[in-house]
Amino acid sequence: MATDYYGLLGVGRDATSEQIKRAYRRLARDLHPDVNPDPAAQERFKRITAAYEVLSDPQKREIVDLGGDPLAPGGGVGAGQGSPFGAGFGGFGDIMDAFFGASTPRGPRSRVRQGADALIRLDLELAETAFGTTRDLTVDTAIICETCKGAGTAPGTHPATCDTCAGRGEVQSVQRSFLGQVMTSRPCPTCGGTGTVVPHPCVSCGGDGRVRARRTISVKIPAGVEDGMRIRLSGQGEVGPGGGPAGDLYVEVHELPHDIFTREGDDLHCHVSLPMTAAALGTTLTLNTLDGEEVLDVRPGTQPETVLTLRAQGVPHLRGVGRGDLHIHIAVTTPTRLDDEQERLLRELARLRGEDLPVSTRAHGGGGLFSKVRDAFNGR
C-alpha cells in the first residue's frame, strides 16, 4: 500500500509547493530532534521529512499522484540494508539547512585531520622510577611528508572535485524501513567524505600527506613515578592525514621487579634472615639501599618478625617533597642440623639458662605449659 504522503503533512492533494513547505516547516519545528528528544517525535519527524522529500520533488510527486510510491523498492533507487534508523538524519541535512540554517553539521569534511595518539611502554629499574631519568626513545610514527608539506598532491597539482559526490562529501541512498522509505546519506566511498580526490598523488606519501619514519626523542622521567603511570608528551604522536596536527605520545611506565625491594606506594620493603645466634647476640647488617650501602645495627635479643625502619630511604614523592620509608623485615632462623660439638654447646646453654628439661614437666608459678618458652625469649 502506498504511503499517504499528503496525510503525513496534513495537506490536500491540490496543495501548492509553498503550502507543502509551510506545513512541513510547522511540523518540523515541533518534531526536529534538536528541539524534541522524544523518540516518538523523532519517528514522526522521519516520516514527515520523507513526505516532504517526496512532495517537494515534482517528479516524485507525480508518481504519488499516479498512485505509486517513489520510495518503494524497485522505484529506481536501490534499497539499502541494515538498520532502518542507523544512518540518522544526515540525509535530510539540506532540507533542514533550508529551514534552520546550519543546525546540522554538513558538507565535506576537511582532508586535514588530527593525528592519532601513540602509546609506548617503557621498562624502568626501581632506581630510575625513584630518582627519575632521561631516556632516548625510538618512535616509529607518522611525520609530515616533506615532499608535499602534507598536501598529498604531486608538486604543481591540486585536488580535484570528486565525481561520485560532486564535491558534497556524501552520497545518499534510500533504505527500506517499516516506516516506509527513509533517505539516508553516508560519507562518499570514493573520496572518503572529503569531496575531493587527488588525481596526482605525491609519490613520497601516496597522497596521505605523511610518511612513516623512525625518530628518537628524549623523554624525561620525573622522580617518584609508579608502575602504570603515563607521561604525556604533547604533540609527539602521529601527524594526522593531510598534515593535520599531531596527536600526543604517551609513555607508560613499567617498573621492573627489583632483586631486593618490593614497592608499596613510596615505601620499600625487604626481608632479611638472621641466624638465631646473630639475633640473640646482636650484629650489623650491610644493606644495599637505593642510596648506597647502609650499615644497620641489629640489637642483641632481636625477635622474629621485627621490622626495622629507615626513615626517608624509600622512593621520593612524585608530588611535594620528602620520601617514603625503607622497612627491613627480620626473620630469625633456627639451625636444623647440629654436629656433636654444636649440640653439646646448645645443651650447655640451655642448662645454664635452666631450659634443659622438657617444658611440660617444668611448668611452674602458674605460667602454664609454655611459660618456659616465653621466658626463654624474654631473656629470663
Where on the chain is the footprint of Zn ion (CB under 5 A)? Answer: 145, 147-148, 162, 164-165, 188, 190-191, 202, 204-205
Residue 162 Cβ, how far from Zn ion at the closest point, in Å? 3
Centre a 10 Å sphere on the Cβ of residue 138 and count the other Cβ atoms it contains: 9
Q: Residue 274: in which H helix or E strand, if any?
A: strand 267-275
The two beta strands, 170-177 and 180-187, are: antiparallel
Residue 87 Cβ, how far from Zn ion at the closest point, in Å? 17
Closer CB to Zn ion, residue 80 or residue 314?
A: 80
Residue 179 Cβ, how far from Zn ion at the closest point, in Å? 28
Q: What is the CA radius of gyration of the chain?
A: 40
What are the start-end ranges of the H helices in 101-217?
126-131
Closer CB to Zn ion, residue 147 or residue 172?
A: 147
Closer CB to Zn ion, residue 56 or residue 204?
A: 204
Residue 105 Cβ, how far from Zn ion at the closest point, in Å? 17
Indicate the residue type of 279.
A
Count H helices and E strands in the chain, helices first: 9, 16
Closer CB to Zn ion, residue 148 or residue 174?
A: 148
Closer CB to Zn ion, residue 191 or residue 328?
A: 191
Distance CA 364, CA 275 (A): 30
Closer CB to Zn ion, residue 165 or residue 290?
A: 165
User: Does residue 224 contact residue 317 with C-beta atoms inside 8 Å?
Assistant: yes
Residue 148 Cβ, how far from Zn ion at the closest point, in Å? 3
Report which of 312, 305, 358 is spatially closest to residue 331, judged by C-alpha positions. Answer: 305
User: Does residue 185 contact residue 53 with C-beta atoms inside 8 Å?
Assistant: no
Centre a 10 Å sphere on the Cβ of residue 252 and count the other Cβ atoms it contains: 13
Residue 237 Cβ, how far from Zn ion at the closest point, in Å? 19
